[in-house]
């Protein structure tokens, strides 16, 4: 496995990575921590005491909260200084997003405004468009929204029916069509709207102001969760959009939509972290108060198991989120060096480069949060089912994360599809490495790792999972070739292995780096997290691998691949029960998430 230049998006599948190559959240600097604290103070003073009013969509409240965040500069973190922003790194914007992620419906409004509401104009707008809109979006004077989804175009976004035709005088595009599930629609002033010009087969994007003639809104959608987030359908009836409001050129819409989706997915990974940590704090503080059979329920092993798993899922998500964030920052820097491109172009390109990681964070993060909120509710028992309890809101609000920014089903397929496509385009030598692994199959089976030291053992395991993933990718693509796309269950098997590989490697590298920074004693609990998680990964890889092999049935070396899975996924001998108890005990002692 080669190691010469910075890691490419998706390249983790073929490349050995060292702890010194990854960024870990323990490396945030003083200024980043201060920005995070400002977000936290804002959330504590303005949002958390208003959750009921927010969910009841009290008139003007959400809009005023965005304005207040704007006064603090928190809407302009990613925007250039000349447009009233603060040009923070992507990693810093992810940290801010994490903190805001605990804000229930507010988190959605904030994320929408600062992400999909503002960034299409930043990345694809011309100077006039940026000058006109970005300063207002940076202060919160205007709120932003994004209109892609239509009744017949959800996951299949390019299937939109909204049309744009040039007016006779050539001064306007006339928009006709319908958009739905539009976040912030109730109060946004500016919308990025996707439509097809004339008979184009591809989308274009337009900047549409609320006051343009011909726009009407349906009432607020009644939703299961994030009730405070404004969500409406929007109708465009001969809506006149000045021609200068075409964004990024005719036919550029799908590319814009994809970039923004990649960005949204990776940011969703940070959002769920804030929500998960809040949910854990709620569950442990309840478990530390609630007595049954004369004991606090936090003293019971079954509850400790849940608490520990909540911590593990959150910590592992966090490890992957900030590793990928820093990689995006590094890619932006590198793109700017190699090309004559602007920072905005470099950033948009970086999101596309890390599309695999973005999809992984989206799926893994949203499912981690769903686990956390579900078990929080369970720890509350009957009380958790009461709408009076905060965990009930957390449970409902979490669910959307598995649906928006591309469903988890779409994103699972994207993980493997994008990984293979980038391999085919030689961003890394996926198929060459796969062939090498295939050729050395006997050696692989006959020489299982005998490393004694845990880190060496885990690094060998991670490398083995990479090899297994490549073996399975090769077997699947050789067998099904162009028809592989129809084998979605098989692709899901591969995706699940790859996602857990990426998260597992990120956690391993973080814990190794932490130990280098803080010493062995201070890292003991992190090693427990790593032990339990990697043990789980070994079981998951084995289950998915064997299921995939059995589903593929007859293919060359079928039996050998199966044997390789069994030999290479062996991480037996870890006392996960004791490790989980130690993790839970720390959480219980601190009465909150301090990992």
Partner 1 sequence: MKILVTLGNVPDTTTKARFADGDTHLDMTGVQWIINPWDELALTRAMELKEDAANPVDHVTVVTVGTQEAEPTIRKALAIGADDAIRVNAEAKDAWFTAQQIAAAVKDQDFDLILTGIESSDYNGAAVGGMVAELLDLTSISAVSGVELNGNEITLHRDIDGGSETVQADLPLVAIVQKGIAKEPRIPAMRGIMMARKKPLQVVDPVEADALTSYNHFELPQPKPPCKMIDPEHVEELVSLLQNEAKVI
| Phi/psi at 226 (5° precision) | 30, 50
Residue ranges in contact with partner 1 by CB under 8 A:
30-31, 33-35, 37-38, 41-42, 45, 71-74, 76-77, 86, 289, 291, 589-591, 594
Q: Of 405, 433, 505, 515, which one is the catalytic site residue?
A: 405
**Shortest Å distance, C-beta 35 to partner 1:** 6
Nearer to partner 1, 35 or 241 (CB): 35
**Shortest Å distance, C-beta 106 to partner 1:** 15
DSSP 7: P
Q: Which of 162, 236, 155, 240 is nearest to 204 (CA)?
A: 162
How distant, in Å, are the alpha carbons of 108, 143, 160, 218 from that of 235?
22, 19, 13, 8
**Shortest Å distance, C-beta 247 to partner 1:** 27
**Shortest Å distance, C-beta 77 to partner 1:** 7
How distant, in Å, are the alpha carbons of 174, 197, 237, 348, 483 from that of 167?
6, 12, 14, 31, 44
Nearer to partner 1, 359 or 583 (CB): 583
Q: Are 473 and 335 in contact (CB under 8 A)?
A: no
Q: CA–CA separation, 174 vs 491, rounded Å?
A: 42
Name every residue whose Cβ is closer than 8 Å to that of residue 566 and which is 6 or more positions away in sequence.
542, 546
**Shortest Å distance, C-beta 131 to partner 1:** 20
Nearer to partner 1, 58 or 291 (CB): 291
Q: Are 430 and 476 in contact (CB under 8 A)?
A: no
Nearer to partner 1, 9 or 76 (CB): 76
Q: Are 513 and 323 in contact (CB under 8 A)?
A: no
| Phi/psi at 198 (5° precision) | 50, -120
How distant, in Å, are the alpha carbons of 116, 181, 291, 357 from that of 477?
35, 37, 55, 21
**Shortest Å distance, C-beta 527 to partner 1:** 17
Nearer to partner 1, 73 or 144 (CB): 73
Query: Beta-carbon neighbour count of residue 285 at 10 Å?
Result: 14
Quick one: tokens of 224? 């299961």
Nearer to partner 1, 97 or 349 (CB): 97
Nearer to partner 1, 80 or 242 (CB): 80
Nearer to partner 1, 38 or 539 (CB): 38
**Shortest Å distance, C-beta 103 to partner 1:** 15
Q: CA–CA separation, 516 vs 510, rounded Å?
A: 10
Q: Which of 432, 450, 586, 465 is nearest to 523 (CA)?
A: 586
Angle (CA) 404-410-413 rounded to 5° is 150
Nearer to partner 1, 229 or 281 (CB): 281
Q: Give the strand pairing for 204-209 and 246-247.
A: antiparallel
Q: CA–CA separation, 479 vs 470, rounded Å?
A: 14
How distant, in Å, are the alpha carbons of 121, 137, 177, 209, 369 from that of 191?
10, 11, 14, 6, 29
**Shortest Å distance, C-beta 42 to partner 1:** 6
**Shortest Å distance, C-beta 273 to partner 1:** 18
Nearer to partner 1, 278 or 470 (CB): 278
How distant, in Å, are the alpha carbons of 310, 343, 369, 385, 592 from that of 380?
14, 48, 17, 8, 16
Q: CA–CA separation, 461 vs 573, rounded Å?
A: 14
Q: CA–CA separation, 421 vs 21, rounded Å?
A: 25
**Shortest Å distance, C-beta 297 to partner 1:** 12
Q: State yes or no: is 405 an active-site residue.
A: yes
Question: Which spans in 115-252 are helix H?
Answer: 119-124, 127-139
Angle (CA) 482-485-490 rounded to 5° is 120
| Phi/psi at 296 (5° precision) | -65, 140
User: What residues are labeled active site?
Assistant: 405
């Amino acid at each position: 496995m080669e190691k010469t230049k910075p890691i490419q998006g998706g390249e983790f599948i073929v490349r050995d990575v060292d702890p010194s190559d990854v960024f870990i959240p323990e490396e945030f600097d003083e200024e980043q921590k201060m920005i995070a604290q400002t977000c936290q103070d804002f959330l504590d003073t303005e949002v958390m005491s208003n959750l009921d009013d927010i969910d009841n969509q009290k008139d003007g409240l959400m809009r005023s909260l965005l304005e207040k965040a704007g006064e603090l500069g928190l809407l302009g973190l990613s925007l250039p200084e000349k447009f009233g922003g603060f040009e923070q790194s992507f990693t810093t914007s992810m940290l801010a997003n994490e903190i805001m992620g605990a804000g229930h419906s507010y988190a959605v409004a904030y994320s929408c405004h600062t992400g999909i509401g503002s960034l299409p104009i930043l990345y694809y707008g011309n100077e006039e468009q940026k000058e006109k809109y970005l300063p207002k979006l940076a202060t919160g004077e205007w709120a932003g929204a994004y209109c892609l989804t239509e009744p017949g175009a959800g996951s299949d976004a390019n299937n939109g029916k909204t049309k744009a035709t040039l007016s006779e005088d050539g001064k306007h595009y006339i928009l006709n069509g319908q958009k739905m599930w539009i976040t912030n629609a109730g109060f946004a002033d500016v919308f990025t709207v996707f439509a097809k010009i004339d008979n184009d087969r591809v989308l274009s994007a337009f900047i549409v102001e609320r006051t343009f003639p011909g726009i009407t809104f349906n009432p607020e959608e009644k939703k299961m969760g994030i009730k405070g987030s404004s969500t409406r359908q929007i109708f465009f009836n001969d809506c006149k959009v000045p021609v200068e409001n075409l964004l990024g050129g005719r036919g550029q819409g799908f590319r814009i939509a994809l970039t923004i989706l990649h960005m949204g997915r990776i940011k969703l990974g940070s959002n769920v972290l804030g929500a998960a940590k809040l949910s854990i704090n709620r569950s442990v503080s309840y478990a530390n108060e609630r007595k049954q059979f004369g004991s606090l329920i936090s003293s019971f092993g079954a509850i400790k198991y849940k608490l520990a798993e909540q911590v593990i899922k959150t910590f592992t998500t966090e490890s992957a989120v900030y590793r990928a964030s820093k990689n995006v920052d590094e890619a932006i820097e590198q793109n700017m060096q190699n090309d004559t491109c602007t920072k905005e172009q470099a950033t948009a390109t970086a999101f596309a480069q890390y599309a695999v990681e973005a999809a992984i964070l989206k799926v893994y993060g949203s499912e981690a949060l769903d686990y956390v909120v579900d078990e929080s509710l369970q720890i509350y028992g009957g009380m958790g089912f009461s709408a009076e309890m905060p965990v009930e809101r957390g449970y409902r609000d979490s669910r959307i994360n598995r649906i928006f920014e591309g469903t988890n089903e779409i994103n699972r397929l994207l993980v493997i599809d994008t990984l293979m496509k980038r391999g085919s385009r030689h961003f890394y030598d996926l198929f060459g490495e796969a062939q090498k692994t295939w050729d050395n199959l006997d050696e692989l089976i006959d020489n299982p790792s005998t490393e004694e030291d845990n880190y060496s053992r885990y690094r060998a395991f991670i490398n083995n999972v990479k090899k297994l993933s490549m073996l399975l990718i090769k077997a699947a693509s050789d067998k099904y070739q162009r028809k592989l796309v129809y084998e979605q269950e098989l692709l899901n098997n591969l995706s699940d292995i790859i996602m857990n590989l990426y998260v597992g490697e990120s956690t391993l590298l973080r814990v190794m780096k932490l130990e280098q920074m803080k010493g062995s004693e201070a890292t003991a609990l992190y090693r427990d997290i790593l032990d339990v998680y990697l043990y789980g990964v070994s079981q998951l890889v084995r289950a998915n691998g064997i299921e995939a092999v059995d589903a593929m049935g007859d293919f060359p070396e079928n039996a050998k691949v199966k044997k390789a899975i069994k030999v290479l996924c062996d991480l037996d001998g870890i006392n996960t029960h004791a490790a989980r108890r130690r993790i839970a005990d720390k959480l219980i002692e601190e009465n909150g998430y301090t990992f």
